[in-house]
A and B are shown apart, each in its own frame.
Chain A
Amino acid sequence: MINLENISFDHCIKCTVCTIYCPVARVNPIYPGPKQSGPDTERLRIKNPDLLDESLKYCSNCKRCEIACPSDVRIADIIQTAKWKYSPKRFKIRDFLLSHTDLMGTLSTSAAPVVNRITGLSLTKSAMEAFLNISSKRRFPAYEPGTFRRWYGRMKSEQEAFSEKVIYYHGCYVNYNDHELGKTVVRTLNKLGVGVTLIPEKCCGVPLIANADLPGARKNARYNIQSIETAVEKTHCSVVSTSSSCTFALKHEYPGLLEIDNSAVFNKIHYITAYLSRLFAQGPVPELQPVNLTAAYHAPCHLERMGGVIHTLDLLSNIPGLKIVLMHSECCGISGTYGFKKECYDIAQDVGEELFKRIADAAPDIVITDCETCKWQIEMSTPFRTVHPIMILAQSLGVYTF
């Protein structure tokens, strides 16, 4: 039962730093914290897989332990892998539904208004809680009719006319839940003189990882990397994504956790603000209209993990009139599918409480964040509208109006 690829637990010096920065351990007394759940008990699980403790399910995979670790132990990766590697394989319909975002998206978008109505009903909610252990308190994200890809199909020839192009990895969220963001990305890039290409893609695998389906995640990862490799080889275009978690998976979790080699395209994949801030740095900076808003900015955990926050802030700093209030680095709690689960809902809300309070204190006109699930969490837990930074830029470029 020994996986020798991630032996980073061996570097743990038992310094306890990770225990300070774990947002779950802070609010959940049952969770023994990243040190014990990760490197400490990994040695025991290697000895005897039966020593896997159930409490590992409370890890939300926010990766804050890894940022804090002075020994480069991939603590969260160890925990995610352990959940899959050492546990008896049991099919859980709830985890299947939550983790197969693309399948759910395909099914739901064809009947979006109905699905949205149904998931919003209190009866459905109680039923989902009773039968699926999905928290009835969680507001479900709305599905849009049709897909973003279908919309893009109509734009394709227009996009091909651009001499400079970029590949857009839109992810499940844009395809099923938020076409507006996808459309805005296309318009924004077009305005900056860049055309948009789509390539075949599958769900990045983040929800599969979180629900202990590593083989499934690996399958998707292999598909995506191959698709990107083929496209990049042919076009030499960069790949951008508007989801911080998708980008994090494509760049970092694929090689680190799933052991999928992405080195051929690693430097070609960018979170969108990283791509744009470099574009701006090369100049000329396009003409930007003032956006007279006070915005609270929340940095998603996975964006922090990969050092992407500076690009978003750098990009936003170009926009005249925009006042950014930084929320102190805190996890919002939802962590993808985590906050949907009955046993984790309260933990998720407790984790996010500090952030919600800070947002309320800042009394912003709007909240900006790079991650779709952070957006759901903030919009459900505070009265503030929450948008992706690209929406603000688009407004400033005149291709979108609130």
Chain B
Amino acid sequence: MKFDCIVVGGGVAGLTCALKCAEEGLRTAVVSSGMNALHFSSGSIDVLGFGGDKKIVYDPFDDLHEFIKEHPGHPYSKCGGVESIENAIRFFREKIRENGPDLFYNGRRNHFSVTALGTLKPTYLSQKSVFNEKLKEVFSRKPKIALLTFEGFRDFYPALAAANHKRTPMIRDCELVTGSVALPESVTTRKNPHEFRSIDICRLFDSERGIETIAGRIRDAAAGAEIVGIPAILGILHYDRIHHRLEELTGALIYEIPTLPPSILGMRLDNALKEKYAELGGLLIAGDEVAGGEFEGGRLASIRTRNYGSEEIKADCFVLATGSYFSRGITSKFDDMKETVFNFQLEYELPRNKWRRSGFFDPKSHPFLEYGVKTNDLLNPFTQSGTCVENVFCAGAILAHYNPVREGSGSGVAISAAVAAASRIASHCRRG
């Protein structure tokens, strides 16, 4: 098999990069092993949420200029400048919209999304069922708010969210009620509602009858609230219609709150990316694992996978977007860690006790989150012998020198690096 570009890893970074490559007309394949971290994500896209000392960032793109200067080696400094980053995020938003959600954005500024513990988190793009213009406007009028869950649902507790919610000035003066909504009996007699995950509730909205029944109960439980917050369960494919119908039937504005996995919000993005990519003729090899590669003259010539055995899969360019520890892009042992697929040079420290800090929620977060593959300014990695591999580009959580959680930058870095890599690959391939 022969491709222009092979992307190893099917997460936000890998899929965005592959999508861009496919759009550039390159014959592209993605090899992915298992589902990606979108399945546990907030489904919002963070560009930069926190600066130094956990200071909240309001204008991510403006602040990025300074941020890049302060953080040499940060992936954002290797994405072709702040303007390119902004373009990459726009590219992502536009592509997602074609097969998936129309993402809300607050001009060039961040907005805040609500967490399951009622705290607010700065983010850049959110799904419209999470935040939108109408909500923004009604919130400012200090409306009555209801936070609801579904009876028996283990993975969302509105009272906990409400407690912190009340502490935010935005909501402090609002009347806030909590409650729960019984699921249709036709469902709960068949399966214990206390065993439901978000995905099980999500499926109840597949039928119009389901929507109507639940809408009626939400309306009753909301007790006249103008805004109703519920756990994120409004469908993976038809969320727009479901959201719209629920608002219509309840007469309230409804917003979704991300909660314990699986994340319905994230799956919508995953779905949208994969559909768009397939539409562009891209190939997804799922459930396989790259077992290694053949290097020729300092370039990666081909890879082998577990399923295809000795069959070589060749390409002009490759993207390494295998993620960090969770996705097994980095493998760690008792006394060492390494990049899993090609054993590229890794930036990390030894001994092991340097990998973490003493408190789990230490404000400075943990060093291991910043470890990753060493790259040059073009995102090319290095072999153990020090050769820079110019036809391999790295993107996403496999990259070193950034802490996605502390900075609130995970998806932003993934998208920016992916688009930067794809553009470089496209010109590489055009050069021949």
Bound Cα distance from A310 to B195, whole angstroms = 37
Determine if B34 and A68 form an interchain contact, defined as CB atoms under 8 angstroms apart.
yes
A69–B328 alpha-carbon span in the complex (Å): 12
Is B226 at the interface (CB under 8 A from chain A)?
A: no
**A230 interface hit (Cβ, 8 Å):** no
A17 and B34: CB pair below 8 A?
yes
Question: Would A72 and B34 be within 8 Å (CB), given that A17-B39, A29-B190, A307-B305 are in contact?
Answer: yes
Interface size on A, residues (CB 8 A): 27
- Interchain CB contact under 8 A, A267 and B309: yes
Segment of B72-80, B281-289, B342-350 in the binding face: B281-289
Q: Number of contacting residues on B, CB 8 A?
A: 30
A32 touches B33 (CB 8 A): no
Task: Determine the chain B residues whose CB is within 8 A of the CB of A70 once the complex forms.
Answer: 33-36, 326-328
Q: Does any Cβ of A come within 8 Å of B109's Cβ?
A: no
Task: Please tell me if A292 contacts chain B, counting CB pairs below 8 Å.
Answer: no
Does chain B have a CB within 8 A of A191? Answer: no
B295 within 8 A of A: no
Number of A-B pairs, beta carbon distance below 8 Å: 68
Nearest Cβ in chain B — how far from A247, in angstroms? 11
Verify B36–A310 contact, CB threshold 8 A.
Answer: no
Shortest beta-carbon distance from A251 to chain B in Å: 8
CB distance from A55 to the nearest CB of B (A): 12
Asked if A307 and B287 make an inter-chain contact with CB atoms under 8 angstroms apart, the answer reads yes
When chains A and B are docked, how far (Å) is the Cα of A335 from the Cα of B70? 57
Tell me if B34 and A71 are in contact (CB < 8 A).
yes
Q: Mark A265-300, 1 if CB is under 8 A from B, else 0.
A: 011000000000010000000000000000000000
CA distance A306 to B195 in the complex (A): 32
Q: Give Cα distance in the complex from A266 to B203, angstroms.
A: 41
Contact yes or no, A307 B203, CB < 8 A: no
Whether the pair A20, B39 counts as a contact (CB closer than 8 A) is: yes
User: What are the residues of chain A within 8 A of B203 when measuring CB–CB?
Assistant: 26
Closest Cβ of chain A to B229, distance in Å, is: 22
Q: Is A124 an interface residue (CB 8 A)?
A: no
CB pair B199 A20 closer than 8 Å: yes
Docked-complex contact A15 and B191, CB < 8 angstroms: no
Q: A70-B34, A70-B35, A307-B287 are in contact. Are A16 and B305 (CB under 8 A)?
A: no
Q: Judging by beta carbons under 8 Å apart, are A307 and B261 in contact?
A: no
Question: Which residues on A sit within 8 Å (CB–CB) of B427?
Answer: none
**Does B308 belong to the interface (CB within 8 Å)?**
yes
| 15 residue pairs A–B, Cβ–Cβ below 8 Å | A15-B261, A16-B261, A17-B39, A19-B262, A29-B191, A32-B195, A66-B287, A67-B34, A68-B287, A69-B35, A70-B34, A70-B36, A71-B328, A307-B285, A307-B307
Q: Which residues of B contact A (CB under 8 A)?
A: 33-36, 39-40, 190-191, 195, 197, 199, 203, 261-262, 267, 283, 285-289, 305, 307-311, 326-328
Top-6 shortest CB links A-B: A70-B34, A67-B287, A29-B191, A307-B307, A29-B190, A267-B310
Contacts A70-B33, A70-B326, A307-B308 given; 13 further ones with Cβ under 8 A? A16-B197, A17-B262, A20-B39, A66-B287, A68-B34, A68-B35, A70-B34, A70-B36, A70-B328, A71-B328, A305-B287, A307-B285, A310-B285
